[in-house]
A = this chain, B = another copy of it.
Amino acid sequence: MTANSIKIERTTAPKQKPDENQLGFGKYFTDHMFIMDYEEGKGWINPRIIPYQPIMMDPAAKVFHYGQTVFEGLKAYRAADGRILLFRPEQNFLRLNRSNSRLSIPDVDGELALEALKQLILVDQDWVPSQEGNSLYIRPFVIATQATLGVAPSHNYHFMIIMSPVGAYYAEGIHPVKIYVESEYVRAVRGGTGNAKTAGNYAGGLKAQEEATSKGYSQVLWLDGVHQKYIEEVGSMNVFFKIGGTVYTPELNGSILDGITRNSMIQLLKHWNVPVVERQISIDEIYEAYTNGTLEEAFGTGTAAVISPIGDLYWNGHQMLINGGHTGELSQKLYDTLTSIQQGAQEDPFSWMVEVQQKAILS
């Protein structure tokens, strides 16, 4: 299958575009979507770009019952000069296939997927927002469609890409949030699916998130499933702590997601000669650093918000105010640097950005 085998059917009824000041997150979808099918014995077939539309699903489709599904999330940015830039998209398709492997889903050809994404973006290029801070959120995903109820890997799948113009996560720039350290619910455990981007990980977290919200916190900080002591992630983000001049982040232990923003932050920090350490970090250690005054900054990292500073951390009766509740200097610098690389406004020392180039679209 080659990229030029992607069929394109354009909509005859383009939607009205939403107000760029009111985008929110994941509420509006572009005019088109990409879809291809998997059939046991045939592999991935029939790649096509079609008008965004509901799909017909048999009620017995395995995704509904056994959750065999994976997804990705990345963004396209509009540079000041009008170019459309993707941030490390090949990493998302590599991770998609690592998730696929954990979920017993057949591999997707990463090159084809990237080409499909580029073509889809070109078809919907008017949907890439231009206002600063706005971007086009991209959601590739695979769902198991075989309509039989046995607990076994599906013989049929859809791979799809849908896209949503989104606003800046924080309308007035980044600002610190209050985080609740979760000591009851567990997101993932080694041997489980924590390092795969799969639906069940998020379903299990809804309850904790709801309870944290009702207590006035914006997200939970997850502890490990074995000891309920070691730090894993914050909400749907990886997490970093600056303690006594060194930046610490939990190592990739099998139960946290290998975040692309996390990886990029580590590269930036090393580039700046800021000491950065990936290792197991206990919540007691964080509390100790807080009490002895060496806990300088804390922040989450992820595609949606890029950086989300932690201003307040509640753990087991202890309220830790971090950096006086203000965004730390390093957090701000990381945010400013990465977002300006992403928007094509500053040099890209790691060649992260991939331009979606205007060219003749085949078919």
Contacts and interface: CB of A to CB of B under 8 A. Distances in A.
A331 interface: no
A54 interface: yes
Interface string A191-206: 1110000111111111
Contact of A152 (B63, B191, B209, B226): B209
A207 B103 contact: yes
B191 A69 contact: no
A248 interface: no
B186 A191 contact: yes
B59 A52 contact: yes
Contacts of A184: 191
Interface string A42-73: 00000000001011111110011111110100
A130 to B, nearest CB: 21
Contacts of A143: 64
A168 to B, nearest CB: 15
Contacts of A59: 29, 33, 52, 54-55, 160, 162
Contacts of A71: 64-65
A287 interface: no
A263 interface: no
Given A189-B192, A201-B200, A207-B104, A64 B69 contact: yes
Size bin of chain A's contact surface: 35 or more
A71 B151 CA distance: 13
B55 A57 contact: yes
A67 B65 contact: no
A167 B21 CA distance: 58
A342 B37 CA distance: 42
A187 B225 CA distance: 12
Nearest to A160: B59
A179 to B, nearest CB: 15
A151 B191 contact: no
A17 interface: no
Given A66-B203, A104-B206, 20 more contacts: A26-B149, A33-B59, A56-B57, A60-B162, A63-B64, A64-B69, A65-B71, A65-B139, A65-B199, A66-B199, A67-B200, A149-B164, A186-B189, A186-B190, A186-B191, A187-B192, A192-B204, A193-B203, A198-B200, A198-B203
